[in-house]
């Protein structure tokens, strides 16, 4: 476990799909998804204090997206672009200058990774980001795929373990995803390691 990590030049925070439909009461609830909000807020305060950029991806599907069961996909409808369920979680303290990246916007293509079909890599390069601190939902889907792409693209990754939760449709899927990401060289830390204020 990393402790006393200091945030500086080259670092950015990436908040993955922390949207209402993925919280308890939403249309595709992730167990304990709401527990991610206070942990992520600690990270957001630390990044704000360090003056480093914050990115937030959002699942932003058209109404007839291929991932929905009516179209033969695995999921109930969720995060339809512009619907209240696609809003970021209540109480999430995103800064005014957060860079929002919408993904999975094409009806015929699933995109779990925040890099797939988006400008995220270009944005990060433009800001000379080299290390990404990643949390959000869900550990075993969009966090996993985003981190795999980040590693392929050469970014260092720090996983914010208490600021993510898994769907865990199969028991242990979240743990396996964490192991896979660690195997790819991602470090693991907690929101409390970042030296933000409570």
- Minimum CB distance to ligand VGL, residue 116 (Å): 12
Q: In which residue are the tokens 């500086």 written?
A: 8
Of 17, 21, 140, 168, the catalytic one is 17
21 binds Zn ion, rule: CB under 5 A: no
Query: Is 103 tagged catalytic?
Result: yes
* Element containing residue 135 per DSSP (H, E): strand 131-137
Q: Distance from CA of residue 15 to its chain's centroid? A: 4
Comparison of 7 and 16: residue with beta carbon closer to ligand VGL: 16
**Positions in 42-61 near Zn ion (CB under 5 A):** 59
Residues 109 and 105: their CA atoms lie apart, in Å, by: 8
Q: Specify whether the CB–CB gap between 121 and 53 falls below 8 A.
A: no
**Positions in 33-92 near ligand VGL (CB under 6 A):** 59, 67, 75
Residues 100 and 122: their CA atoms lie apart, in Å, by: 13
23 binds ligand VGL, rule: CB under 6 A: no
Number of helices and strands (H, E) in the chain?
A: 4, 6
Print the binding letters for residues 114-143 with ligand VGL: x by CB under 6 A, - otherwise. -----------------------xx--xx-
Comparison of 46 and 138: residue with beta carbon closer to ligand VGL: 138
Query: Is 152 tagged catalytic?
Result: no
Residues at the site binding Zn ion, with contacts judged by CB under 5 A: 59
């Amino acid at each position: 476990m990393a402790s006393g990590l200091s945030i500086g030049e080259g670092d950015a925070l990436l908040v993955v799909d922390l949207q209402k439909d993925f919280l308890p009461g939403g249309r595709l609830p992730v167990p304990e998804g709401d527990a991610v909000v206070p942990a992520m807020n600690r990270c957001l305060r630390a990044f704000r204090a360090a003056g480093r950029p914050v990115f937030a991806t959002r699942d932003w599907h058209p109404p007839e997206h291929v991932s929905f069961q009516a179209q033969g996909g695995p999921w109930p409808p969720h995060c339809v672009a512009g619907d209240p369920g696609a809003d970021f979680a209540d109480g999430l303290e995103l800064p005014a200058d957060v860079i929002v990246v919408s993904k999975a916007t094409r009806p015929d293509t699933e995109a779990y990774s925040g890099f797939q079909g988006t400008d995220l890599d270009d944005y990060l390069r433009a800001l000379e980001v080299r290390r990404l601190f990643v949390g959000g939902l869900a550990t075993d889907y969009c966090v996993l795929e985003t981190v795999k792409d980040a590693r392929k693209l050469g970014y260092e990754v720090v996983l914010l373990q208490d600021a993510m939760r898994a769907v865990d449709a199969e028991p242990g899927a979240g743990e396996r995803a964490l192991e896979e990401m660690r195997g790819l060289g991602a470090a693991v830390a907690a929101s409390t390691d970042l030296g933000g204020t409570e």
